[in-house]
Structure 1
Amino acid sequence: MSFFSIFSGYISDFLAFRKQTKSLSCYLHDQAYLSDFDSFLVAQNWNKNFVSETIMQKWISQLKGKTSTIANKVITVRNFLVYLNTIHNENLNFLPITPKVHDDYQPFIFTDEQLKSFLEYVDSLPHYVKLKNPKTQIGYCMLLRLIIGCGLRIGETLKLRVKDVDFINAILTMRFAKNNKQRFVPMHESLNQMLKSYCIALGIINSPGSLLFWDHSKGTPLPPQKIGGYLRKLLIQFGLRTRDKKDHERGVCIHILRHYFAFKSFKQAQLAGRNFNDSVPFLSVYLGHESFKETEKYLKFTSEMYPEAIESFNDYTSQLFPEVIFYD
């Protein structure tokens, strides 16, 4: 990738350093954010050998998207400016304060009746008239139930193979999970038997290396984007599509099934009288989260239905993440 601002050489050197010390995902994000910053400086005809507060604030003011994305962009550029100050041994470049992140995401949660109706809708043949192979239809039906019943991510589910299913103990082995957090996922026995019947019907029960889900017409794996797109079409037909959604916001999508699982699991634990401090860590590990803060997003839906639960969660996390006080 080429850069064209007065800092082009420095950006290239900084990225070369980041590539050696950071993950590929982190490096690619840095590259994209710095490319945007570079283009902004070119558009502003900025030819000074430092970044002033004025030009920095102007750049920040035109950023669009989720507050978390904006914060990440500012952090990346700030790291680059720290790098410039370090190699020049001067504090010429203005270092911006990272904008606050406001998590206003509110997931859509199915009611039990809605979910039942939606599954019946998906199971009905008329919605699959464009599918060339009836086995693909069966795959979609099984895929949805596996995601709902285990709270799985679509990407990790599509990578499951027959060898990853322990039918005796009703356990899935998630080998290709987000952040490389491999985990074991127990299934309800009814779901286990359904999955076993599915594998028998498709003739893959004795083929350990076979994918559970694939495009039977092409004989290729199903890409997550295709599944997500198809589900969105079904949701539109079913009438559960989020309206007036901003471009950077997530509407009704396949990920809401994972939220539904988290909601039902949390609600079941609460109704069973289980201690909150015991429930959250297990749910976090089961979902494959890196931190309890990530799990907190899945419990946001309880703010109106279970306000005392949110208070309990905040009390719980405050013990794990004490407040940090900064001194000038």
Structure 2
Amino acid sequence: MKNLKMAADDYIKLRRALGFKLTDTHYFLKNFTSFMEREHAPYITTELALRWAKQPQNTLPAWWSKRLSAIRSFARHMKTMDPRHEVPPNGILPNKYQRRTPYIYSNEEVLALLQACEWLPRGNGLLRYTYYTVFGLLAVTGMRIGEITALQRKDVDLTQGILTIRDTKFQKSRAIPVHESTVHVLGVYAHLRDQIFPDCKVSNFFLTDFGTGPSHLAIR
């Protein structure tokens, strides 16, 4: 029998082959299987799934429900191969999500946020510029965080001043024209990125200081 980490990887590959993206689910399962390893637990139980799902304690119960839902689907998959796995029942955690009232940042607050990027750890120097440029792009374009983290180098046309957003929320693509001042900032960032990682094989436009694409959760 495969261990849970290997089984989770196979499960994600199978679901993605069927067209599901599962970005959050992939993250949840990696975290959950590490938790199960620390517990020395080879089989999923409702008690363990609940204990993991209700982390962190100081968050909305709807977030716990979302975490548990990802494990429930995986547990169903595992139970078809080994009946010793338990599937957490529906309804054991509240799942009514109350959308928070959107907070609109003032120009002064946006500037303060950009200035705060200077206080990020230096490392090789790229991380602070990545966050500075990402936050600025969020402010001037209204793009979603996931769209920015998924932005590829080929999607940024600095000559025409066009960003191409592919595979959006509704599986469509769209073009976003940006101001010449934004083009300038993106160009400065791209030049610095290529100086720090001249032989980088990652196709993301934005990189962390490790040369990898930034995650949605890290930006949030």
Q: TM-score, normalised by structure 2?
A: 0.53
* Runs of 5+ consecutive residues of structure 1 not aligned to the other structure: 1-18, 42-58, 68-102, 229-328
The separation in 1 between residues aligned to 2:109 and 2:138, in whole angstroms, is: 16
Q: Which structure 2 segments of 5+ residues have no match? A: 1-14, 26-68, 77-86
Counting only pairs closer than 5 Å after superposition, residues 1-328 of structure 1 correspond to structure 2 as 24=20, 32=72, 39-40=88-89, 64-67=94-97, 104-122=99-117, 124=118, 127-129=119-121, 131-203=122-194, 210-216=203-209, 218-228=210-220
Q: Which has the higher helix share?
A: 1
Per the TM alignment, residue 109 of structure 1 is displaced from its structure 2 partner at its CA by 1.4
SS in structure 2 of the partner of residue 222 of structure 1:
coil
The structural deviation recorded for 1:39 is 4.5
CA distance in 2, matches of 1:32, 1:111: 41
How far, CA to CA, are the matches of 1:173 and 1:209 in structure 2? Answer: 18
Q: Per-residue CA shift, 1:240-265, capped at 9, x if unaligned? A: xxxxxxxxxxxxxxxxxxxxxxxxxx
Structure 1 residue 200: Cα displacement = 2.1
Task: Give the secondary structure class of the aligned counterpart of 2:105.
Answer: coil
Supply the distance in 2 between the matched residues of 1:219 and 1:208 (Cα, whole angstroms).
9
SS of match in other structure, 1:172: strand
Amino acid at match of 1:182: S
Does the CA contact (< 8 Å) of 2:163 and 2:178 recur in 1? yes
Where 2:170 maps in the other structure, the secondary structure is helix
Note closer, same or farther for the CA distance 1:208–1:179 as it changes in structure 2 (3 Å cut). farther
1:104 Cα deviation (Å)?
A: 5.0
Contact 1:163 1:209 in 2 (8 A): no
Map Cα deviations across residues 252-309 of structure 1 (whole Å, 9 max, x no partner).
xxxxxxxxxxxxxxxxxxxxxxxxxxxxxxxxxxxxxxxxxxxxxxxxxxxxxxxxxx
SS in 1 for 2:100: coil
In structure 2, the residue corresponding to 1:226 is in which secondary structure?
helix
Q: 1:32 to 1:136 in 2, by over 3 A?
A: same
Q: CA separation of 1:39/1:215 partners in 2, compared to 1, >3 Å: closer, same or farther?
A: closer
> Alignment partner of 1:105: what SS?
coil
* Structure 1 residues 159 and 30, CA gap change in structure 2 (3 angstroms): closer
Structure possessing the higher radius of gyration over alpha carbons: 1
Rounded to whole Å, the distance in 2 between the matches of 1:153 and 1:197 is 22
Question: C-alpha deviations, 1:86-121, integer Å up to 9, x for none?
Answer: xxxxxxxxxxxxxxxxx6530111122222222222
Task: Supply the AA of the counterpart residue of 2:185.
Answer: M
Change (3 A) 1:161 1:64: same
1:184 alignment partner, SS class: strand
Provide the rounded CA distance (Å) in 1 between the counterparts of 2:116 and 2:70.
43
Identity %: 26
CA spacing shift, 1:132–1:185, aligned 2, 3 Å = same
Q: TM-score, normalised by structure 1?
A: 0.37
How much is the aligned-residue C-alpha RMSD, in angstroms? Answer: 3.7
